[in-house]
Structure 1
Amino acid sequence: MFKFIHAADIHLDSPLRGLSRYESAPVDAIRDACRKAFNNLVDLAIEEKVAFVLLAGDLYDGDWKDYSTGIFLSRQMGRLNQHDIKVFCVAGNHDAENRMTKALDTPANMKIFSAGKVETVKLEELSTVIHGRSFKRRHIDENLAAGFCEAEKGMFNIGLLHTSLDGRKGHANYAPCSLDDLVSKGYQYWALGHIHKQEIVLEDPFVVFSGCIQGRHIRESGPKGCVLVTVEDETVKEIENIPLDVLRWTQIEIDLTDIEERRDVLEKIRETIEQERTSAEDRPVAMRIKLIGATKLSDQLAAFPEKFEQQIKAIGAETAGDTLWIERVENRTQGKYDLEAALDDHTALGKLLKSIISTPDDIDQIDGLADKIAELRQKLPPQAFGVETIVDLNDGQTIKRITRDAQKMLIGRILSAGGENEN
């Protein structure tokens, strides 16, 4: 019996993107997060006395800024070598063209598989064969799995590959292949990389995406880590998901249906924050909060969103101190106001409300919106609208969200003003 670790998408020294824009972001807590997560991986390998470690691509995030990345990696490989732990690695789309990798000698216990052809390594003492192939260049659209050889009989066969498989939401199409392509080779385990969410695609044979070891933005939420695999008699006996991340990104939904008092809203938010902090097991947490459900408070909460968000952030600071950062609060609640009465109101506020409510759902039909976006592009630097920003003006869904939020905010303020006038 032996154990091995399957990990992927380390993205060593990649920054946790977008956080520098926020004054309140926990910069000290997340500095070198990817290095710390990789250090956790090495600690786990030593503690579990694994026979080897598999890294299924994207060890790096592109070319290094300096040689400190390579020195860090060599130090970690040295720690594993002291315990006779070998490392087998393939290059993925992010580290395929890393120039500095070629300038430094590969650590003695580390094998990087060729990009020119599929290579096979035999570990006779473990009755194990590892087959792998790296990316030669960043963009690979050919089926690399097709070139893998048939399984060797009487051995535990592992395929090591960086691939999008048959496609996954949010991930570009790299080295695509089908499950049938993998199953047909007769291997007992396929160690895959590229998809950052952990997934056991198939159990007979095992086809596994280990996921990334450290989330780098809000779309990579939830526990991140590796899988620890136990093998006995050329059969997978157990697979354990082991979290390695040092900062936990999380997206939570809080249902405010039928809540009628603002203090009850804030109390429910407090309770949810405490639950999430507990589940993160003392890790710092970067949190996005989405409020859903139907409540009479919807318009009141939407009227002054910045003030409401600051109240929630204050609760977070009180509850968790510097270990919690609330990245964004989204109000997706639905109002329970008397719409017919509001639209029948012949006052100026009533007419304005009717105009706002009738705003088209199709953003292309909103008069003047395209001109306003073009005006923003002229006034603000291009980096303000990138994919990793809150205001990605290249994304139609982002623009739709912004217009919907503006609509809710204006409705809330008008109704609040109407209520004050009635008093």
Structure 2
Amino acid sequence: MKKISFIHAADLHLDSPMVGLKHLPPNIFTRVKESTFTALKKVTEAAINHQVDFVIIAGDLFDGEDRSLRAQSRFRIEMLKLAEEGIPVYVIHGNHDHLNGTWVHLDLPSNVHVFNSEVETKVLHTKNGDIVNLYGFSYPTRHVYDRKIDDYIKKDGADFHIGILHGNVSAGVEHDNYAPFSISDLHQKDFDYWALGHIHKRAVLSETPPIIYPGNIQGRNKKETGVKGIYHITLTDLDKEMNFLETSDIIWEEIMIDAASAKNFLEVLHLCQTTINSVRREQKGTLLSLFLKNIQLMDEREQRSVKGELLELLLEEEKEEESFVWVVDLTMVKGQEIDKEKLKSDANFFAELFQTVDHYDNVETALSPLYEHQLGRKYIAHLSTAEQKELVNKAEKLLIDLLYQS
């Protein structure tokens, strides 16, 4: 029976800058900065422990086109570990680490096979005598909007055919439409597996054949919540096995606490501590965005303490904790939804405000000072349509809150 086993990883983003986290205690900040490298080590450990035939990395190994020497060196060390075990690695570069960047080049060991800028086929003869055709390409520049999927042509003579593609499903709206494709496009190619990259949220788009986004190996900001990892795949003539393996060392979480039952500050504190302990994971760090709603303490001094001292108390016990839960955001939320129709009837001003928000289309212009700033241009990605809408909605809620307070 024909059988192969491999690891599918994507979007390593090694040495990601982790913007906005310098306020963390030094030991926690260091661990967060190291988290992408810690996750990479777990990728190689999984490949060795499962004695796979090969490893696939489907784009964005590095976080930027300049590819820091630190990131290249750490990646090279892990590839050498796989070389010692006789495990080949098949790599494509994506929009973040495209081939047109400028960097000081460190040679990779001979077991690492990098696809060039046009779709090509690499042939692997496994230790068991099976033949695998792997198809893929690396981004020549940051922006690839062509339908590269049309260039994936199945070639005879292999037992298994695997496509590697860093791109976006055509119907997607949350990401730039790089190397667009549809699920039916992939089905028509008649491959045995599609190893996708680019989308940081894990998704199985199809099971027959398997078409999978493993997501990134380590969450890097509050939008990338939950466990991150890779897939260990086993394919045979007749069956398949797809196992998700966790690699993230730091996990981002977001939780809403309803504090309506709390009668005093101590009870609010206890609610928060209970929640923090409920998300604590052994030997892992957690960065938590905490939202508190329906806080209605009778004592005004205690109400002020919630806003002023609660966060400090929650963080005090976490500084030396290996399995820390660090609250990076503590937000007080009004319990009730905004009744726009009532506000419109109360004052014409609100009707005009909501109409302006509904038809606001100058987000890019409003954000242009950030994109034009030297640091902003380097670290802030252009927002998708969905992200722009979310930003406008948040601005609307903030305006209404400020009007209430005044």
TM-score (norm 2): 0.80
Note if contact 1:197-1:210 (Cα within 8 Å) is conserved in structure 2: yes
Q: Distance in 1 between matches of 2:10 and 2:98?
A: 14
- Tell me what 1:127 maps to: 131
Task: Please show how residues 25-64 of structure 1 align to structure 2 within 5 Å.
Answer: 26-64=28-66
- Tell me what 1:402 maps to: 398
Post-superposition CA distance 1:20-70 (Å, at most 9, x none): 2x2557312212221121111111111111111100000111234643332
Note if contact 2:67-2:103 (Cα within 8 Å) is conserved in structure 1: no
Secondary structure of the residue that 1:160 maps to in structure 2? Answer: strand
Note if contact 2:171-2:182 (Cα within 8 Å) is conserved in structure 1: no
Secondary structure of the residue that 1:39 maps to in structure 2? Answer: helix
Q: Distance in 2 between matches of 1:382 and 1:102?
A: 22
Secondary structure of the residue that 2:49 maps to in structure 1? Answer: helix
Q: Distance in 1 between matches of 2:12 and 2:69?
A: 17
- 113-122 vs 50-59, which moves further: 113-122
Q: Distance in 2 between matches of 1:85 and 1:234?
A: 24
Task: Please show how residues 178-257 of structure 1 align to structure 2 within 5 Å.
Answer: 178-233=182-237, 235-236=239-240, 238-257=241-260
Q: Distance in 2 between matches of 1:27 and 1:130?
A: 39
Note if contact 1:273-1:316 (Cα within 8 Å) is conserved in structure 2: no
- Tell me what 2:385 maps to: none
Q: Distance in 1 between matches of 2:183 and 2:320?
A: 46
Change (3 A) 1:300 1:335: farther
Name structure 1 gaps, 5 residues minimum. 337-353, 412-423
- Tell me what 2:329 maps to: 328
Change (3 A) 1:328 1:102: closer
- Tell me what 1:340 maps to: none
Name structure 2 gaps, 5 residues minimum. 338-345, 382-387
Post-superposition CA distance 1:296-351 (Å, at most 9, x none): 459979974x8526413412433675523211122223269xxxxxxxxxxxxxxx
Is 1:362 matched up with 2:354?
A: yes
Q: Distance in 2 between matches of 1:109 and 1:395?
A: 45
Task: Please show how residues 171-182 of structure 1 align to structure 2 within 5 Å.
Answer: 171-182=175-186
Change (3 A) 1:384 1:298: farther
Change (3 A) 1:309 1:327: farther
Task: Give the CA deviation at 1:241.
Answer: 1.2
Q: Distance in 1 between matches of 2:216 and 2:267?
A: 38
- Tell me what 1:418 maps to: none
Q: Max radius of gyration: which structure?
A: 1
Q: What letter is aligned with 2:273?
A: R
Note if contact 1:8-1:213 (Cα within 8 Å) is conserved in structure 2: yes
- Tell me what 1:315 maps to: 314
Note if contact 2:15-2:33 (Cα within 8 Å) is conserved in structure 1: no
Q: What letter is aligned with 2:327?
A: I
Secondary structure of the residue that 1:38 maps to in structure 2? Answer: helix
Q: Distance in 2 between matches of 1:179 and 1:298?
A: 56
Among 273, 277, 293, the alignment partner of 2:276 is 273
Change (3 A) 1:229 1:106: same
Among 48, 73, 87, the alignment partner of 1:85 is 87
Secondary structure of the residue that 1:272 maps to in structure 2? Answer: helix
Secondary structure of the residue that 2:244 maps to in structure 1? Answer: strand
Note if contact 1:24-1:325 (Cα within 8 Å) is conserved in structure 2: no
Is 1:170 matched up with 2:169?
A: no
- 224-233 vs 5-14, which moves further: 224-233
Post-superposition CA distance 1:255-306 (Å, at most 9, x none): 33555444333322211110101xx3321111101234x56459979974x8
Q: Distance in 1 between matches of 2:302 and 2:181?
A: 47
- Cα RMSD over matched residues? 3.7
Task: Give the CA deviation at 1:358.
Answer: 6.8
Q: Distance in 1 between matches of 2:351 and 2:313?
A: 34
- 320-329 vs 217-226, which moves further: 320-329
Q: Distance in 2 between matches of 1:298 and 1:4?
A: 60
Q: State the identity %.
A: 26
Q: Distance in 1 between matches of 2:110 and 2:199?
A: 29
Task: Give the CA deviation at 1:72.
Answer: 2.0
